[in-house]
Structure 1
Amino acid sequence: MQRRFLRITALLLIGLGGVAFFYYIRSLLIPFVIAALIAYVIYPLVRSLEMRGIKRRTAIFTVYAAGVVLVAIFFTVFIPALLQETRSFSRILPEYTRAWEEAQAHLYRLSERVYLPPEGRQVLREMTGQIRSGVLESLRGFARAVLGIISFLPSLILAPFLAYYLIRDFDHIKKRFLAALPPGCRSDLLSLIREGDLIFSQFLRGHLLISAIVGLLTGVGAALIGMPFAVLIGLFTAVADLVPVFGPVLAAVPVVGLALSISQWKAVLMLGIFLAVQQLEGSVLAPRLLGDRVGLHPLMVVFVLLVGGYLAGPLGLIFAVPAAGLLRVVLSYLWEKMVRT
């Protein structure tokens, strides 16, 4: 018993030391984390090509070549339009700010014609001010996110090279990892890893694809009704849709508000586009591409999102649900082991 206690204590100390070490060098791990995500996303494509008789290295280069073509199309078609719309939006943003101030003043004049107690007028002023500051803060956060992506450019350049070696030597890494597991709990841990893989793949592959489709359809719909900044609207909607439950509302409020500053009909049409796309996502895309592997009650999902947003901001909102799903699997496994023993 004393030897077992010493062994467990030594393992805990080594684990805590490893966590502290990796936390200290966390900035150096960014390209490795991005490489692991890239490898995780494209590995099924490589395996699919391997099953058709293509060697792994050739399959990796084939997937990379297709990715380079898609990135080239993205930069030649999407980026110039995005930059142009960003410049135009920055030029007319003061006009929309003045339009909002005029609408706010009109609302105040309207409230003076209708009897409201002084407290009610104060609440109205505070609510309109909070809405304005919230919209402006959302725009600032979006701009900071774009600048943050640019700061990750060196890591983004290095990550594909690291991902190549991860995919090429995946079988060897997997064999070494399995050999390091204790034989007595190897099968249980493998089952736990497979369950976690289902949850994480659902988020990383399915949810990213759904968000891209939602952003594309919303941007196309905005362009068809003559909305300005259709590319920005599509990109903003795709990013906001990564947040479960609250994402569609976070995207719809500023975009419909922008359409309302142009005309009431554009606001109605833009709201109809959001509702139609969300109906398509809820009834067709999500059941086919996601399923329900996370296993969380809707009330628990809302609670997890609030906790994730409070602890980690926008990234917490995005990763809170899959992290909670993984935690549920781990806790269920530990509880089952405790009950059995």
Structure 2
Amino acid sequence: MSSLNDSSKSRLAWGLLIAALVLFVWKFAAALAPFILSLVLAYGVKPAVDGMVKRGVPRALAVSLCVILALLMVLTLLVLLVPIVSQLVPMLKSQVPDLFSRIWTSVQPWLSQLGLELPSLDEGKAMLVEWLNSHASQWAGAIVSSVLIGGSGLMTLLGFLLMVPMLAFYWLMDWDDIVDRAWRLLPPRWRPPVHDVLTECDGVLGQFLRGQVLVMLIMAVFYSAALGLAGFRLALPIGVFTGLAMCIPYLGFGVGLVLAVLSGVLQFSPTSGMAYPLIAVAVVYGAGQVLESFFLTPRLVGRRIGLHPLAVIFALLLFGQALGFVGVLIALPLSALLLVLARRALASYRGSRAFLGSPGPEQG
């Protein structure tokens, strides 16, 4: 009976500790965001650092090179938005009224038959032009502010760009020492099960992160080449952006698709109509999805994390609410770790006396 009480007290203590840890992370999510993101970054580039160190490169130099390379990839993704926005905004202001006229002319008779009276075409165009001139810059500023700040209001993009690489550098420089000290804090009897859990987490997370980077690079080349063959002037920035933005499930692909449709319609509609750009984008992005889902991901990433699409969307919303844009970036890696822990907990529960219904020690 006493052993059972001791076990119950131990489980209760661990439950309270985990609850307190979750509450602490949720309360100070904004302050912890750069530390979590830098830890994920350090974990992702650690194999490259270890490989360079084994080849005789000083560890400080290896860490610096890998962190700088990762930072350049992020900066490339942001810089790619500059030519896209700088070319699309003038095209929008000059061509949207004409596109609006075509749509208005085709829709107005149909709506009139339904009894809906709309303003005249000239009045509608004037209203649209006025709205674009007065609200487009405000909306763009709000979107950029939301993306860069991530809803927390405490960190700016510049702060993240400075803090995350610096923290990742320190993580990588002292990685083995940090792991060794943490390992010594564990009681010896806990070390085997903890080692098994960490090994499984490393397999799932490492396979996902390192494989996903290869998928992103290949898809960036594919989308750029395919849109270029289709005649898109912004093929390179949109293609590379779409490929690299795939680190954000659904959202990255969706933004790239919208940019490609918008670019194609504005470029080709004055001469070739709207059918060609829509068909071209559908073919390119449809083929990209097939290539990524059925060939690249199974071969390079291997087995997926195992989350249902609904769970992926829930994780994106949950971590995005807690950590802002940074939470969206690290939602899947953290979900992978939580999934491993949940599987272990479920397996432990299914093997327990409470699940199997066998009598406890006090009943024996």
1:155 to 142, 156, 160: 160
> Structure 1 residues 321 and 3, CA, compared in 2 at 3 Å: closer, same or farther?
closer
Q: What's the C-alpha RMSD, in Å, of the aligned pairs?
A: 4.0
Question: Which deviations, in whole Å up to 9, do the C-alpha atoms of 1:247-290 show, x marking residues without a partner?
Answer: 64553355225413423334433333223333332343212221
Q: Is the Cα contact below 8 Å between 1:199 and 1:322 reproduced in 2? A: no
Matched, 1:143 2:148: no
Aligned residue runs from structure 1 range 52-201, under 5 A:
52=55, 54=56, 58-65=58-65, 68=68, 82-109=81-108, 111=110, 143-144=144-145, 147-148=148-149, 151-201=156-206
In our comparison, the structure showing a higher alpha carbon Rg is 2
Length-normalised TM-score, structure 1: 0.72
2:296 to 282, 285, 289: 285
Q: Is the Cα contact below 8 Å between 2:84 and 2:234 reproduced in 1? A: yes
The one-letter amino acid of 1:61's match is: L
- Give the whole-Å Cα distance in 2 for the aligned partners of 1:199 and 1:142: 34
Please, which runs of 5 or more residues in structure 1 have no aligned partner? 122-135
Question: Which deviations, in whole Å up to 9, do the C-alpha atoms of 1:37-61 show, x marking residues without a partner?
Answer: 2211111012222333x26xx1441
- Give the whole-Å Cα distance in 2 for the aligned partners of 1:181 and 1:310: 34
State the match for 2:132 in structure 1: none
1:308 to 315, 319, 327: 315
Q: Is the Cα contact below 8 Å between 2:64 and 2:169 reproduced in 1? A: no
- Give the whole-Å Cα distance in 2 for the aligned partners of 1:146 and 1:30: 15
Matched, 1:238 2:243: yes
Question: More relative contact order in 1 or in 2 (CA 8 Å, sep 6+)?
Answer: 2
The one-letter amino acid of 1:95's match is: S
Shift of 1:211: 2.7
> Structure 1 residues 9 and 213, CA, compared in 2 at 3 Å: closer, same or farther?
same
State the match for 1:124 in structure 2: none
Aligned residue runs from structure 1 range 256-267, under 5 A:
256-261=261-266, 262-263=268-269, 264-267=275-278
- Give the whole-Å Cα distance in 2 for the aligned partners of 1:104 and 1:174: 62
> Structure 1 residues 281 and 101, CA, compared in 2 at 3 Å: closer, same or farther?
same
> Structure 1 residues 236 and 82, CA, compared in 2 at 3 Å: closer, same or farther?
closer
State the match for 2:285 in structure 1: 274
State the match for 2:232 in structure 1: 227
Please, which runs of 5 or more residues in structure 2 have no aligned partner? 119-135, 270-274, 353-364
Q: Secondary structure at the match of 1:294?
A: coil
- Give the whole-Å Cα distance in 2 for the aligned partners of 1:221 and 1:328: 36
> Structure 1 residues 99 and 37, CA, compared in 2 at 3 Å: closer, same or farther?
farther
Question: Which deviations, in whole Å up to 9, do the C-alpha atoms of 1:177-226 show, x marking residues without a partner?
Answer: 22222333322222112222222223333224423432343234334444
- Give the whole-Å Cα distance in 1 for the aligned partners of 2:246 and 2:28: 32
Question: Which deviations, in whole Å up to 9, do the C-alpha atoms of 1:131-157 show, x marking residues without a partner?
Answer: xxxxx9x97886346544892322322
Shift of 1:18: 4.4
How many residue pairs match? The answer is 316
Length-normalised TM-score, structure 2: 0.68
The one-letter amino acid of 1:307's match is: F
The one-letter amino acid of 1:302's match is: P
